[in-house]
Structure 1
Amino acid sequence: MSVSIKDVAKEAGVSIATVSRVLNDIDVVNEETKKKVLDAIKKLGYRPNIVARSLKTQRTKTIGILIPDISSQFYPEVVRGAEDVSNIYDYNVILCNSDVDVEKEKEYLKVLKEKMVDGVLYMSSSLDDEILDLINELDLKTVLVETKDKEGSLPSVTVDNVQAIYDATNYILDKGANKVAYIGKRRDVNTAWSARYLGYEKALQERGIEVDENYVFCDTLRVKTGHEGVMSILEKGGKPDAIICASDEIAMGAINTLRENGIKVPEEVSVIGFSNIYAADIFYPKLTTIAQPMYDMGSIAMRMLIKIINQKPLDEGHVVLQHNLIERESSR
């Protein structure tokens, strides 16, 4: 037999209206009465009817999190930070994986709207105008994580992706490398991933080094891109002494392929990754990489979104967190 709000009111010795105020976190209920109601809810195992409650309050206490690639070790850590904060504020999470498919992203945004989520944390494989237009059309309260839109119209939590790869490229140039390759993401999309190439290009240009397209390979952020990138560079006759990678997964794929071709890392080629995922510190050789504060990106973005949902002002609309270059064994 299901427990009703009437049963909770009877157990706590209060009115149904008081129970409703506690459930909707209305401040007029004193702490002693609130405790009685919460104890009764716990004792009886009462769960409010979310659908009925949302129709009345226009809130579902549910937040959608859209990620582009669940196979990456980066996104689960961001989600963990977001979910820990959502739990503190009693929000539930719906996790959607778009598998780097723009059409799937658009479909998920529509589904999340149908589910009446209160807001969305959006980690995107594309921030094209059609996606931004859809977010506006659906009137979804949204915070971007890892990237920001060109106009800066949506709140965001990022690192400075251009500066991060710029720092990594200068680091390896300062170590004496002069033939630096880049393996990353397509340059014709507006994402954090594509922005990383700009840092590589900027660092080379400032040193008077022309970008050699034979040393550049762009596809996805997955391990296979590291493999395919190295093979492409070698097949074109390239002999880099360093490779900057837009993700740690790419770096791992690149190192394995260099090994398979009899090229030693870091003795002959240095390799630098991006993100500092868990595997970066246990891979062999341990990866030199740009660390992103993944957990903090998720937790800060969730706090921002909950403020927006509750119509509270943000201290800052665009939060740029500190990146850090971690020297390990994959660079000489």
Structure 2
Amino acid sequence: MRHNGRATIVDVATTAGVSVTTVSHVLSGRRPVSAATRARVEEVVRRLGYQADPSARGLRTQRTRLLGLVVPDITNPFNAELAAGLQEAALAEDYLTVVCETPKEPSRVRAVMRQLTARRIDGLVLGRYPTDEGVLDALLATGAPVVRLGGRLDAGPGDVVHAAETEGMRDLVRHLVRDRDYRRIGFIGGAPGAEPGGDRHRGYREALTEAGLAVPEDLVVWTDFTREGGRAGAARLLAAAEPPDAIVCANDLIAIGALDTARTSRLPVPGRVAITGYDDIEAAALVSPALTTVLNPAREIGRSAARVLTDRLDGREDGPAREVLLAHRLVRRESA
């Protein structure tokens, strides 16, 4: 009989003239069923508009088929692309994604993970957060497979999926020095200690040292990973006694803010100062001048994180934790 106007698995079985177990085998694909029986059951499923009840399946399997994604700022286009890639690959494996935005304070991160645990998520993808002891304990307490989007493999539980942040920034600064002959290069990062700013700052320092250039500590500014942070950071750098001839930014939003400041100050880019970003969000190609940046493949990072999680959850992977490193690419445009 129908429940709340919806066809049930019993309705399908009765109409098709088979057992409920046979319908379950057809729907799951995990047990062999004759071609004729499968075709008859699938036709009835279509005709009745039957949809499996995920909550009922969860009671039987003790699985919810929910994946949690926790990121600091969902308004950042990089994180939105990441979430889209995660959801795309998760849905292909019959998982649903729950996206949670929470600031980087460890107490807030722990609170969100407790809520996700209470809702019995099957797997967790964690953005770049400080992995203090409390956060690591909360990760372990979820009891779920974890994918971290950066950091060292041995710095916490679970697998790691990311692109090479340090190497990407190093390639960008090498381009500025070798191909564009900039010598006094400033850096605008996010809040001190907030990743991936530290990894990208490391690449900046390594490239300058490699080129035999001094690292200008007076031209390193820490702010927020936002457009407003970029405006404020660029204002400080451009007001220096010896301002930079180029500014590298820890993400594209910061760089777009830096472009705002240069425009307000009537400083031509790149004629007076070059400005570069990181991530290659869609807006990087739309601003004027278009940003030279580094492609950080957000959507593919999301897809890869989903594949790693679902491989573990569905038994296709049971080995030790692994690191998936995706390729970055220097994107040369007009701003540098």
TM-score computed with the length of structure 1 as normaliser? 0.92
Q: Which residue of 1 aligns with 2:111?
A: 107
Render the CA deviation track for 1:78-109: whole Å, top value 9, x for unaligned.
22222111222221121111144433322221
Distance (Å, rounded) in 1 between the aligned partners of 2:86 and 2:248: 29
Q: Are 1:51 and 2:55 matched, yes or no?
A: yes
Contact 1:275-1:290 within 8 A present in 2 as well:
yes
Distance (Å, rounded) in 2 between the aligned partners of 1:324 and 1:236: 31
Q: Are 1:181 and 2:189 matched, yes or no?
A: no
Contact 1:147-1:157 within 8 A present in 2 as well:
no
Render the CA deviation track for 1:245-282: whole Å, top value 9, x for unaligned.
11011101001101211211100111111011111111
Distance (Å, rounded) in 2 between the aligned partners of 1:100 and 1:73: 18
Q: Of 25, 28, 46, which aligns to 1:21?
A: 25
Q: Which residue of 2 aligns with 1:76?
A: 80
Q: Are 1:297 and 2:304 matched, yes or no?
A: no
Q: Which residue of 2 aligns with 1:328?
A: 333
Render the CA deviation track for 1:1-31: whole Å, top value 9, x for unaligned.
3322211211222111222334444234345
Using the aligned pairs only, state the percent identity.
29
Q: Which residue of 2 aligns with 1:87?
A: 91
Distance (Å, rounded) in 2 between the aligned partners of 1:110 and 1:76: 23
Distance (Å, rounded) in 1 between the aligned partners of 2:32 and 2:118: 32
Q: 1:267 to 1:77 in 2, by over 3 A?
A: same
Contact 2:125-2:146 within 8 A present in 1 as well:
yes
Q: Of 303, 323, 326, which aligns to 1:318?
A: 323
Residue type at the aligned position of 1:283 = V
Pairing 1:21-170 to 2, within 5 Å after superposition: 21-148=25-152, 150-151=154-155, 153-170=157-174
Distance (Å, rounded) in 2 between the aligned partners of 1:313 and 1:131: 25
Render the CA deviation track for 1:126-171: whole Å, top value 9, x for unaligned.
3333222211122121112355555364212111111111111111
Distance (Å, rounded) in 1 between the aligned partners of 2:271 and 2:258: 15
Q: Are 1:249 and 2:267 matched, yes or no?
A: no
Distance (Å, rounded) in 1 between the aligned partners of 2:290 and 2:328: 19
Contact 2:106-2:132 within 8 A present in 1 as well:
no
Contact 1:214-1:238 within 8 A present in 2 as well:
no
Distance (Å, rounded) in 2 between the aligned partners of 1:243 and 1:79: 29
Residue type at the aligned position of 1:111 = Q
**Secondary structure in 1 aligned to 2:278?**
strand
Contact 2:140-2:157 within 8 A present in 1 as well:
no
Q: 1:107 to 1:31 in 2, by over 3 A?
A: farther
Distance (Å, rounded) in 2 between the aligned partners of 1:68 and 1:156: 17
Q: 1:92 to 1:216 in 2, by over 3 A?
A: same
Q: 1:150 to 1:130 in 2, by over 3 A?
A: farther
Q: 1:238 to 1:72 in 2, by over 3 A?
A: farther
Q: Which residue of 1 aligns with 2:15?
A: 11
Distance (Å, rounded) in 2 between the aligned partners of 1:184 and 1:147: 17
**More deviation, 170-179/121-130:** 121-130
Q: Which residue of 1 aligns with 2:6?
A: 2
Distance (Å, rounded) in 1 between the aligned partners of 2:269 and 2:82: 30
Q: 1:150 to 1:231 in 2, by over 3 A?
A: farther
Distance (Å, rounded) in 1 between the aligned partners of 2:137 and 2:150: 19
Q: 1:110 to 1:24 in 2, by over 3 A?
A: farther
Contact 1:69-1:100 within 8 A present in 2 as well:
no
Q: 1:125 to 1:38 in 2, by over 3 A?
A: farther
Render the CA deviation track for 1:220-251: whole Å, top value 9, x for unaligned.
21111111101222344341000011101110
How far does residue 327 in structure 1 lie from its aligned partner after superposition? 0.6
Contact 1:123-1:147 within 8 A present in 2 as well:
no
**Secondary structure in 2 aligned to 1:275?**
coil
Unaligned runs of 5+ in 2: none
Contact 2:139-2:157 within 8 A present in 1 as well:
no
How far does residue 295 in structure 1 lie from its aligned partner after superposition? 1.7
Distance (Å, rounded) in 2 between the aligned partners of 1:28 and 1:240: 69
